[in-house]
Structure 1
Amino acid sequence: MESSSSCGAKEEEVEVGDYNSSTMKKARLHSTLTALLDDPILADVPKKPTLSDVDTLISLEMGSAMRISILKLDGTSFDVAVMNSATVKDLKLAIKKKVNDMEQSNLGHRHISWQVFIAPSIQSCSSV
């Protein structure tokens, strides 16, 4: 009987030990991720990267992608990474995404609903 109760106690210790080790693993993972994200080498990784963003950055490191610097008319510039096999359409989409990301980081989340502007004008035209 004592052996069964001691086995039960050992099982409880294992569960408590697993909980503590799981909590410790999560804490270590969190601190490692925080350190990685603060690393200046990863400064070009977006805040919420998509799979294609990560794939392009990996390809950039392996030499199968290129970084293009875009010079705007106001004298400012920004970089865009695209695959070596990218088309003009892919480059346009990358530039559009980069500009949207820069605007959202500066101004916060914005979404213009064009229906709000278009619907009243359609109604006024139909009543004429």
Structure 2
Amino acid sequence: MDLEESVPVEKPEAEKVRFTHNELLEITNKTLSDLISCDSLIKDLPHDPTLDEINAQLALHHGQSITVIVKKDNNEKLPIVVHHGATVSDLKKAIRRYVALSLRRKGDNTKISWKYVWKENNLKSGSVILEEDRAKLNDCGIVNGSKVTFVKRFRQKNSIKYSKSKRVNY
């Protein structure tokens, strides 16, 4: 074995390509966007998807998750992805993540007090009010494609009453 063959040959300084940090970021983002747009499973995601969004889309494709449509007061529909064994609490957390990510993408710095939102409102699916956080969505009759709305809570004499027509507008 010849010694010259095993030693890497250095390229002259003029042939080395150097990129700035911003140029590398731009190249990486462009490459990722091209890869995502070519993949049939995740091409419907935004141009800057998070790892959670990609994992949720893959879980949907493999039948491990369901999509719950959450309808806001302004008729905006939020497609929320949760796993099959999810609870009401998991659904609430997924709504929180979806709204936070949506606001961040719009450049909106609005802070939402989710403690207040859940204190004043509940979720409702058909005639079932989802008030127990530990209840499984399957037990509440929520399946893939189910529609869920916000309902306002009214307090009267230490008990909770619910309005059928009022919904939250955040």
Cα distance in 2 between the residues matched to 1:69 and 1:56? 15
Cα distance in structure 1, aligned partners of 2:89 and 2:50: 20
Q: Which amino acid aligns with 1:42?
A: K
The structure-2 alpha-carbon separation of the partners of 1:29 and 1:111, relative to structure 1 and needing over 3 Å to count, comes to: closer
In percent, how many aligned pairs have the same letter?
Answer: 20
Q: Which structure has greater helix proportion?
A: 1
Counterpart of 1:88 in structure 2 is 88
Q: TM-score normalised to the size of structure 2?
A: 0.44
Question: For the structure 1 residues 28 and 98, does the alpha-carbon distance in structure 2 shift closer, same or farther, using more than 3 Å as the test?
Answer: closer
The Cα of 1:55 is off from its aligned counterpart by 2.8
Partner of 2:48: 47
- Higher relative contact order (Cα pairs below 8 Å, separated by 6+ residues): 2
Post-superposition shift, 1:67? 1.2
The match for 1:110 is 109
Relative to the length of structure 1, the TM-score reads 0.55
CA distance in 2, matches of 1:64, 1:46: 24
Aligned equivalents of 1:46, 1:66: Cα separation in 2: 23
Provide structure 1 residue ranges, at least 5 long, that are not aligned to the other structure.
113-128
Which is higher, the Rg of structure 1 or of structure 2? 1
CA RMSD of aligned residues (A): 4.2
Cross-structure match for 1:34 = 33
Q: CA deviation at 1:60?
A: 0.9
Please give the per-residue CA displacement for 1:61-106, whole angstroms capped at 9, x wherever unaligned: 1011011111112111121111111111110000011111222222
Unpaired runs of 5+ residues, structure 2, are 112-170
| Residues 31 and 55 of structure 1: CA distance in aligned 2, closer, same or farther (over 3 Å) | closer
Once residues 46 and 34 of structure 1 are traced to their aligned partners in structure 2, the CA distance between those partners, rounded to angstroms, is 6
- How far residue 28 of structure 1 moved from its aligned partner, in angstroms, is 8.4
Counterpart CA distance in 1 for 2:47 and 2:90 is 18
Q: How many residues align?
A: 102
Does residue 73 (structure 1) correspond to residue 73 (structure 2)? The answer is: yes
